[in-house]
Amino acid sequence: MRTPLYLTVKELPKTMIKNGILEALKRRVSDRIWKKWFSTFEVIHVTEDEIVFSVRNLFIKDWLEEKYKKQINSAIKEVFGRVIPFKIIYKETVDMEVGEDEHNIDYLPSEETNLNPDFRFSTFVVGDGNETAYKFAKKSATEPGRFSPIFIYGGVGVGKTHLIQAIGNYIYAKKPQLKVIYTTSEGFMNEMIKALRENRMEKFREKFRNVDVFIMDDVQFLMGKNGVQFELFNTFNELMDKKKQLVFCSDRDPAVLQDFQDRLISRFRMGIVIEMRLPNLETRKKIARRIADREGGGLDEEVLDFLAENIDGSLRELRGAIIKLIAYQEIENRKVSIVEAMNLVSGFLKKKVNVDPSEKLISVLSGIFDLSPSMIRSKSRKANIVMAREIGIFFARKYLKMSVRSVGKIFNRSPSVISHTSKRAEEKIRNSPVMRSYLNKLLAHFNPAVGELN
Ligand code: ADP
Ligand code: MG
């Protein structure tokens, strides 16, 4: 009997076959090609007379069938000792949370484009403040070149980088034949300096002027940098002549970029200029959930709401606080309570400045508990009065960052009683949903940006 040189399909464990084929294939193409075209390539099914592969993009399916048939056949031959016919099917990925079409597309590795694959349309929450920018970003992603240039501006942490990278990721995934490049203006400058030093300007120009989609982040960094502005101006013109898609963002309206060549400013303004602003509370809450999911999740809704309510300066800070709490939960191996969260992220909540909040605190408390100020300051031991006092004292210590002495003055108690009451209150808040809900009512009046009640 003939001893087979190769094992037959039936004799090999399935995973070994699958990995074997992939490994053999990987050796037949360059790393770059592997990452670009085979990142979603899977072995679905193997029998003696047919092998089925899948990819998650129709364009890639066609492309592989057309250009890589030889390599695939040769890989199969290496593993099985003979050619087995194969076919590639298109397998849609289904995003868990959203059904819109862009959410089903596939995101490829990003080394070539410099894009962060987390920054997609599907992970971007649309709400007030970013809606118009989103619409144009989406348009330029689905019809690259139609609205060009697009210039998005807005303050720190409003989502500019996320949105402009989403354009790049979308195009890169949907139309892999298009060349997408994302760079910060600083990155552009550094590369240019290096190219100048090494006498490689031609290569530099080839890299940036030979693209279909050119995305530049934080243009304001080039203020006063004349040489780089000049290079950008030429890059801009060449790409516009070729009807390519250009996308820019900056922390200010292009009209007010200082130390910027007028002709470059007028280029920026010749297309669509859109402002992005910080979203409102409802949207921030949704964003907090989306960021938390992206970063590993596990935070309670009430904690996320608390963060969205109290960190209203920049979404970057919101993200920082979320990451900190997720890390804390992982290390401690348990959920953080809202009270702990408040302490842990206090660095993100700006401290109060020079305000005497005593009257304000008492009046807000009296509103929430329906008690007169004098009742709150009294010695009464009635349950609702005690609760109002405890929450007020805890709040004054933890949020208003007041000393025990000052709190004592407000509540008509000695510093040692304040210290003791605050600790006891913290314990109670941790264990009592009723106390927590009252604390939340109080927090609704709190403006962490200035560290005071409003
Ligand atoms: P900017 O570039 O304007 O300073 P970023 O794009 O870096 O802001 O946004 C800061 C953080 O907030 C990022 O982690 C980003 O993913 C997140 N973020 C901003 N806007 C949204 C949004 N609408 N939906 C989801 N995440 C967002
Ligand atoms: Mg940015």
Q: Is the pLDDT of residue 224 over 90?
A: yes
At 367, the pLDDT band (50, 70, 90 cuts) reads confident
Pocket probe for ligand 1: among 125, 130, 153, 162, the residue whose CB has the most ligand atoms within 8 Å is 162
| Chain segment 30-64, per-residue pLDDT in tens | 888 888 788 888 887 777 788 888 887 766 777 88
Give the pLDDT score at 52.
85
Degrees, nearest 5: CA angle 441-339-316 = 90
Q: Is the CB of residue 296 less than 8 Å from the CB of residue 289?
A: no
Task: Give the number of other Cβ atoms within 10 Å of residue 287's Cβ.
Answer: 24
Which of the residue ranges 243-247, 248-252, 341-345, 411-415 would you say has the lowest mean pLDDT?
341-345
Tell me how far the alpha carbon of residue 310 is from its chain's centroid: 19
Q: Which residue has the higher pLDDT, 245 or 327?
A: 245
What does the block give as tokens for 92?
């849609």
Q: Is the pLDDT of residue 227 over 60?
A: yes
Give the pLDDT score at 8.
58
Which of the residue ranges 134-148, 265-279, 356-370 would you say has the lowest mean pLDDT?
356-370
Partnered with residue 245 across adjacent β-strands are 213
CB within 6 Å of ligand 1 — which residues?
Answer: 123-125, 130, 154, 156-162, 287, 290-291, 315-316, 319
Q: Is the pLDDT of residue 247 over 70?
A: yes
Pocket probe for ligand 1: among 316, 317, 323, the residue whose CB has the most ligand atoms within 8 Å is 316
3-state secondary structure of 193: helix
3-state secondary structure of 43: strand
Q: Which residue has the higher pLDDT, 158 or 65?
A: 158
Q: Is the pLDDT of residue 212 over 50?
A: yes
> ω before 85 within 30° of 0 (cis)?
no
3-state secondary structure of 249: strand
Of 179, 127, 123, 185, the residue nearest 151 (C-alpha): 185
At 149, the pLDDT band (50, 70, 90 cuts) reads very high
What whole-number percentage of the chain has pLDDT above 70?
88
| pLDDT, mean of residues 113-126 | 90
| Chain segment 57-109, per-residue pLDDT in tens | 766 777 888 889 999 999 998 888 888 999 888 765 433 233 344 444 444 54
Residues with Cβ < 8 Å from 237, sequence gap 6 or more?
267
Give the pLDDT score at 15.
67
Q: Is the pLDDT of residue 350 over 70?
A: no
Atom of ligand 1 nearest to the CA of 123: 25
The full DSSP string for 280-324 is -HHHHHHHHHHHHHHTT----HHHHHHHHHH--S-HHHHHHHHHH
At 4, the pLDDT band (50, 70, 90 cuts) reads very low
User: What's the chain's average pLDDT?
Assistant: 86
How far, in Å, CA of 155 to CA of 214, rounded?
22
| Chain segment 388-404, per-residue pLDDT in tens | 999 999 999 988 888 89
| pLDDT, mean of residues 278-292 | 94
Q: Say what the alpha-carbon torsion angle 102, 103, 104, 105 is, to the nearest 10 degrees.
A: 60
Give the pLDDT score at 95.
34
353 CA from centroid of ligand 1 (Å): 28
For residue 354, is it left (φ>0), alpha (ψ between -120 and 50) or beta? left
Q: Exposed, middle or buried, 175 (CB in 10 Å: 0-12/13-18/19+)?
A: middle
Q: Is the CB of residue 233 less than 8 Å from the CB of residue 200?
A: no
Give the distance between the most distant pair of CA atoms in the chain. Answer: 103
Identity (one letter) of the amino acid at 128?
D
Give the pLDDT score at 13.
62
At 110, the pLDDT band (50, 70, 90 cuts) reads low
180-184 and 42-46 as β-strands: parallel, antiparallel, unpaired? unpaired
Going by alpha carbons, the residue nearest to atom 20 of ligand 1 is 159
Q: Is the pLDDT of residue 373 over 90?
A: no
Phi first, then psi, for residue 81 (nearest 5°) are 80, 0
Give the pLDDT score at 356.
52
